[in-house]
C-alpha cells in the first residue's frame, strides 16, 4: 500500500453519493493539481452521457470502456486528483493500476445519506431503493480492499494524502501507525523523552531497539549532534527513525534519516504546537551553520506524521505562545481566523492547510514559498540573536514587518491582538546582514512574501531596500 500521494495520483473512491466529484474539485485546488472526474472523461470520449451509455449498451460494455479510460488517466505522468466512478474499482485491472500509480482514499458515506443524495437523480443504478441497498453492501468490501486510507471530508482527504494522522491519543497507536516491519530507533530531546518516551516505546513494542537523546531547541540542529547520531544509529535500510519532540528535533532527526544509509524512512511525532502545525509537516529537514539557519538540509518526506494534540497538555505556556505565531500566520494565509477554534481543531486545520500546500509544491519552487510569510525577517532576528530568540517570538515580529510592507492593516491588527509582539534587542547590522543571506534572496536582494488581502498571499516580491531596512529596524529595540 502507498504511504501518501507524494508524486502519485490522488484517487477518490466510494459509493454513489459519497461526494467524490465535489470534494475532488476542492482537494485539487488545495493541492494545485489538475482535477479529473472519470465519469466526465468517459462522457467526453464517448460523446454521450453515462445515462445514454447505459441505455445504449449493457453494463459490461460500459465497464470495459470505464476500465480503458481509467488506464489512460492513471498512466499520465503529472499527478492529478481523480474522482473515480462508483463502480470503477470493480475492475481488478483498475485496482492494480491504482496500487501502482495512485494513493486511493475511500470517501465514507452511510447508506441512508447516499440514498437521500442520489434517489432523485438520473443515475442508472439508483432507480430502485432495494437494489441500491444490495449494491451498497456488495461494493463496500471492494472499496475497502482498493483504498490506502479513508476520510469523510476535505481536510481528512488532504491529511490522508500527506500521510498525516491527527487525533488525541494517537501516540499510543504508534505501533500500528508507523509503516513497515523493520527495527525502529527513536530520536527525542531529553525533556520530551522523559515525558512521552515511555508511551512511544510501549506503543512501538519489539520494533523499538534504541532511543537517542538530543538537546532541546536549536542546539539540537548542529553538525556535532548530527555526527553523534550517525555514529550511534544501528538500523539498516529496512529500519525507520521516529522523531519525537519539537520542530528542532524533527529537523535534525529527519536530516539524519535522509543521510543515514543514503536515506531511510522516518516518522515524525511532533509534541509542540510549532511542530504540529508547521515544522513536522512537508519533509523539510535541516541543521544550522554559524552563518545561518537551516543552511544544510534535504527534502525527505516522512512516511507518517502522527500528531497527538493531547501531548500539548504538558507544554509550557511560553511554548504554546511560540506555536500560536505559526497558527496566526497559517490563518492569515488561508483567510480564516483559525486561532479562534478549540486547540485540537486548530491543530488539525493548520496541519491540513500546510499539507496541501506542500503536496502541491514538495520542493519549495513556487506556492510553498507563501509559508515563509514573515520568516525572512524572523530568521534575520534569530541569527542576530545567536539563536537565543524563541522562533515564535521572531515569527510574530516578522509578521508585523511583512504585513506593514503589504499594507494589510486588518491582518496587522490580528497579529498585535493575538501575539502582542515586542521589539527585541539585537545588533541591527548583524540582522541586516543575515537578512541579505536569506535562502530566498537573489544577489543579496530579499524576495518577500506579502499579504495585501487575507487568504491571497504573493511571493517572490522585491521591495525597496530602504523600506525593508526600515521595516527590520522597527522590530529592534534600542540597546
Whose CA is closest to 88, among 155, 148, 143, 29? 143
Q: Which distant-in-sequence residues (6+ apart) come within 8 Å of 418 by Cβ?
A: 324, 328, 339
Q: Is the pLDDT of residue 443 over 80?
A: no
Domain count, the chain: 3
387 and 436 belong to one structural domain: yes
Contact 454, 332 (CB under 8 A): yes
- CA gap 122, 131 in Å, rounded: 15
Whose CA is closest to 129, among 119, 140, 121, 139? 119
207 and 257 belong to one structural domain: yes
136 and 192 belong to one structural domain: no
13 and 145 belong to one structural domain: yes
215 and 110 belong to one structural domain: no
Query: Could you tell me the CA-to-CA distances from 329 to 264, 367, 422 in Å, in that order?
Result: 32, 15, 17
- CA gap 199, 302 in Å, rounded: 21
Task: Provide the pLDDT for residue 387.
Answer: 85
Q: Which three cell numbers stand for residue 164?
A: 498525516
Residue numbers of the domain that contains 440: 367-473
pTM equals 0.94
* Mean pLDDT, residues 249-257 taken together: 98
**Region at 446 (left for phi over 0; alpha for psi -120 to 50; beta for the rest):** beta
Domain end (from 315, 343, 358): 315
184 and 284 belong to one structural domain: yes
Domain end (from 290, 315, 340): 315
- CA gap 142, 153 in Å, rounded: 21
* Mean pLDDT, residues 53-73 taken together: 91
Q: What is the pLDDT of residues 387-434, one digit of tens each?
A: 889 999 999 999 999 999 999 999 999 999 999 999 999 999 999 988
* Mean pLDDT, residues 317-322 taken together: 93
Q: Is the pLDDT of residue 124 over 80?
A: no
148 and 199 belong to one structural domain: no
* Mean pLDDT, residues 207-222 taken together: 95
Whose CA is closest to 11, among 76, 66, 79? 79
**Furthest C-alpha separation in the chain:** 83
Whose CA is closest to 456, among 379, 367, 378, 326? 367
234 in a structural domain? yes
87 and 188 belong to one structural domain: no
173 and 306 belong to one structural domain: yes
187 and 246 belong to one structural domain: yes
pLDDT confidence bin for 444, thresholds 50/70/90? low
The beta strands (E) that lie in 131-275 are given as: 149-151, 164-166, 184-189, 208-214, 240-245, 266-270
- Residue 460 maps to which CATH number? 1.20.1090.10
Amino acid at each position: 500500500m502507498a504511504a501518501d500521494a507524494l508524486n502519485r495520483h490522488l484517487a477518490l473512491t466510494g459509493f454513489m453519493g459519497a461526494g467524490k466529484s465535489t470534494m475532488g474539485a476542492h482537494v485539487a485546488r488545495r493541492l494545485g493539481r489538475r482535477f479529473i472526474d472519470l465519469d466526465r472523461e468517459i462522457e467526453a470520449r464517448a460523446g454521450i452521457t453515462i445515462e445514454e451509455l447505459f441505455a445504449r449498451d449493457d453494463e459490461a460494455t460500459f465497464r470495459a470502456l470505464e476500465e480503458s479510460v481509467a488506464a489512460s488517466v492513471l498512466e499520465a505522468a503529472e499527478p492529478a486528483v481523480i474522482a473515480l466512478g462508483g463502480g470503477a474499482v470493480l475492475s481488478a485491472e483498475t485496482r492494480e493500476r491504482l496500487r501502482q500509480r495512485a494513493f486511493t482514499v475511500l470517501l465514507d458515506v452511510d447508506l441512508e445519506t447516499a440514498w437521500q443524495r442520489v434517489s432523485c437523480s438520473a443515475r442508472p443504478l439508483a432507480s430502485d431503493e432495494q437494489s441500491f441497498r444490495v449494491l451498497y453492501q456488495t461494493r463496500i468490501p471492494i472499496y475497502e480492499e482498493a483504498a490506502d486510507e479513508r476520510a469523510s471530508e476535505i481536510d481528512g482527504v488532504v491529511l490522508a494524502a500527506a500521510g498525516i494522522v491527527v487525533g488525541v491519543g494517537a501516540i499510543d497507536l504508534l505501533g500500528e501507525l508507523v509503516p513497515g516491519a523493520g527495527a525502529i530507533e527513536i530520536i527525542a530531546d531529553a525533556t520530551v523523552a522523559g515525558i512521552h518516551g515511555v508511551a512511544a516505546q510501549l506503543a512501538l513494542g519489539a520494533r523499538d531497539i534504541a532511543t537517542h537523546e538530543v538537546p532541546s531547541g536549536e542546539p539540537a540542529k548542529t553538525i556535532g549532534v548530527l555526527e553523534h547520531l550517525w555514529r550511534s544509529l544501528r538500523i539498516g535500510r529496512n529500519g525507520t527513525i521516529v522523531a519525537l519532540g519539537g520542530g528542532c528535533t524533527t529537523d535534525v532527526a529527519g536530516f539524519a534519516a535522509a543521510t543515514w544509509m543514503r536515506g531511510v524512512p522516518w516518522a515524525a511525532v511532533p509534541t509542540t504546537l510549532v511542530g504540529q502545525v508547521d515544522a513536522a509537516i512537508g519533509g523539510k529537514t535541516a541543521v544550522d551553520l554559524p552563518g545561518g539557519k537551516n543552511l544544510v538540509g534535504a527534502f525527505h518526506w516522512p512516511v507518517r506524521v502522527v500528531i497527538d494534540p493531547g501531548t500539548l497538555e504538558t507544554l509550557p505556556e511560553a511554548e504554546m505562545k511560540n506555536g500560536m505565531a505559526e497558527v496566526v500566520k497559517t490563518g492569515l494565509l488561508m483567510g480564516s481566523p483559525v486561532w479562534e477554534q478549540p486547540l485540537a481543531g486548530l491543530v488539525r486545520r493548520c496541519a491540513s492547510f500546510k499539507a496541501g500546500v506542500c503536496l502541491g509544491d514538495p520542493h519549495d519552487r513556487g506556492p510553498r514559498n507563501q509559508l515563509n510569510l514573515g520568516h525572512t525577517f524572523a530568521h534575520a532576528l534569530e541569527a542576530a540573536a545567536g539563536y537565543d530568540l524563541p522562533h515564535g517570538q521572531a515569527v510574530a515580529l516578522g509578521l508585523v514587518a511583512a504585513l506593514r510592507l503589504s499594507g494589510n492593516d486588518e491582518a496587522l491588527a490580528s497579529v498585535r491582538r493575538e501575539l502582542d509582539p515586542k521589539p527585541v534587542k539585537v545588533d541591527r547590522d548583524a540582522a541586516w546582514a543575515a537578512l541579505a543571506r536569506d535562502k530566498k534572496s537573489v544577489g543579496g536582494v530579499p524576495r518577500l512574501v506579502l499579504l495585501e488581502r487575507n487568504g491571497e498571499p504573493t511571493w517572490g516580491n522585491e521591495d525597496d531596500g530602504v523600506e525593508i531596512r526600515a521595516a527590520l529596524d522597527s522590530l529592534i529595540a534600542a540597546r
